[in-house]
Amino acid sequence: MSQPIPPMVSGALPVLGHALEFRSDRTALVRRGFEEHGKIFGIKLANQNVAILVGPEYHRTFFMETDKALGIQEPYSFLRSMFGEVLFLAPHEVYLEQRAVVLEAFRREKMLHYADVMQEVVQAWLDGLGDSGEMELVSEFVRLVQEVAGHCFLGREAHQQLGREFWDLYTDLAEGLDPLLPPNLPLPKFRRRDRAKAKMQGILEPIILERRQHPERYDDFLQDLINKRYPDGRLAEQDLIVNMLLGLMFAGHETTVGQAAWTIILLLQNPDYLRLVQEEIQQVAPDGVHIDPKRMTQLEHIAWAVREVERMRPSVDMLMRTVKEDLPVGDYVVPQGWLAQVTQDVAHNLPVLFEDPDTFDPLRYAPGRAEDKQDRFALIGFGGGIHKCIGMNFANMEMTVITALLFRQFDLELVTRHPQVERGLGASRPDKAVVRYRRRNP
C-alpha cells in the first residue's frame, strides 16, 4: 500500500476505541472527525476500524463500489434472523431475480392504484379522529403506515382478514432487531421475534394456498409474488413469499413513520412555509377533491418539504459496507477488513452544497436553486446506486398524501414544542410529538 490509511479521530479509548461515543451520539462523533480531518477519516469500534466518507464524491465511491470492493451483506447480516436470505441478503444472482420481482410492485399502474388506496386509508384515519383533540404523531403514524402497507401490498380483503393480531406480531418481530448482539442469544426479545415469525408464517400460509388455487381472484403485490415464475420455471417457495413480504414492510415502515412525522412537525414549526403549502392545497386539491396523478405532481411545495425532511431528519442516518479489497479513496486507501460508512446526518449539512443548512428551507429545491441536483450523490436519504431504495416513490407519495389530507381538513398546533431526534437500533424518528387538532368544517 503506497497511500496512507485514513487518519483516526481523536479520543479513542484503549480496547473500546470510539464504541461508547458511537453508541451515545454517532452523529456528534462523525461531526468531530469531519472537523478534525475533513472528508475521510477513521473511527474504531472496539477492534473494528471504520472509514467514514463524507461528501458526494466519496458517496459515489461508496455506492458504485457496493457489490464490488464493498459488501452490503455482512453489515446487515443481523437481518437474516428475521427475514432469511431475501434481497440483498441473498447471493447476488438471486438478489437480481428478486429485485426484478419487487420492482414490478412499483411500476406505474401499480403506483396509480396505490395513490388511490393511500387516500382511502388516510381519509378513513382522519374520519376517525373526531372534530378535535390531541394525538401523538409517531404512534398514530405507526398504525397508519401499517394500514397503508397492508392495503397496498396484501390487498384490502387479506389485510382485513389478518386483523390487528398480525401487526402485533409484526411489532414483536421488529423489536427483535439488534445489529449488535448475536441473534441467537437466549434473550426474551429474540424468543418473541422467533415466535412471532412462526405465527405470521402460520397465518399467511392458508392465504397463500388459497391464492395459488384461485389466482384469477386477486390482483395485488402478494399475488404477483405468488404467481411469479423464476427464469428456470419454478414458483417461489412459501417461505420466500413470506420473507419478501415481511422484509419489504419492514424496510418501509419505521423509515416512513419517522419522515412522515417530521414533515408535519417541521411544517408546524415553520408557519410561513406552511402557508405556502396550504395555499397550494387550496388551489390544487381542496377538500373533497381526489388527488389524481396530475394534481399529485402539482403539490410541489409538499414534495419539497418532504425532500427537506429527507435532508434534515433522515430516518436512515448512516449506511455501512464491508471493505472486501483495499479501496483507494481520495488521498487514502481503506484496507480490506475495515468497514466503510456514509453518514447522511453530516453529509446533508455541508454548506458548500446546501445554503444555510440548519434552516428548514424547502424552496432550495425549487427551479433555479435546485440544490439537490448539483450532484446525484448529494442527497442520500434513500441511498444510491444499485441498492437505492426501491420504495422511495411509494414513501414520498405516502408522505405527500398524509400531509395534504391532514392539513386541508385540520388546523394543527404543536403541543410538544421541540421534539428531539430519537436514534435507536433501527430508523431514527421524533421521540414524542403531541399535536392538538381541530377540524375546519365539522
Contact residues for ligand HEM (CB under 6 A)? 72, 87-88, 99, 102, 248, 251-252, 255-256, 259, 315-316, 319, 381-383, 387, 389-391, 394-395
Q: Which is nearer to ligand HEM, 82 or 409 (CB)?
A: 82
Q: Which is nearer to ligand HEM, 32 or 402 (CB)?
A: 402
Bridge-based pairing state of the strands 410-414 and 434-439: antiparallel
Q: Which residues, other chains included, contact 61 with Cβ-Cβ below 8 Å and sequence gap of 6+?
A: 53, 327, 329
CA–CA gap between residue 349 and residue 420 (Å, rounded): 17
Q: How far is the CB of 390 from ligand HEM (least distance, A)?
A: 4
Question: Do residues 381 and 310 lie in contact, with contact meaning Cβ atoms separated by under 8 Å?
Answer: yes
Which residue do the cell numbers 424496510 mark?
A: 251
Q: Three-state SS across 13-53?
A: ECCCECHHHHHHHHHHHHHHHHHHHCCEEEEEECCEEEEEE
Q: How far is the CB of 188 from ligand HEM (least distance, A)?
A: 29
Q: How far is the CB of 251 from ligand HEM (least distance, A)?
A: 3
Q: How far is the CB of 171 from ligand HEM (least distance, A)?
A: 17
Q: How far is the CB of 7 from ligand HEM (least distance, A)?
A: 25
Q: Which is nearer to ligand HEM, 274 or 316 (CB)?
A: 316
CA-closest candidate to residue 259, choices 141, 415, 370, 108: 141
Q: How many CB atoms lie within 10 A of CB 156?
A: 14
Q: Which is nearer to ligand HEM, 12 or 111 (CB)?
A: 111
Rg (CA), the chain: 22
Which residue do the cell numbers 461528501 mark?
A: 55
Question: Do residues 95 and 87 lie in contact, with contact meaning Cβ atoms separated by under 8 Å?
Answer: yes
Q: How far is the CB of 392 from ligand HEM (least distance, A)?
A: 6
Provide the grid cell at 106: 412499483
| DSSP string over 131-157 | SEEEEEHHHHHHHHHHHHHIIIII-HH
Q: Which is nearer to ligand HEM, 32 or 52 (CB)?
A: 52
Residue nearest to ligand HEM (CB): 391
Q: How far is the CB of 254 from ligand HEM (least distance, A)?
A: 9
Q: Which is nearer to ligand HEM, 51 or 395 (CB)?
A: 395
Q: Which is nearer to ligand HEM, 41 or 141 (CB)?
A: 141
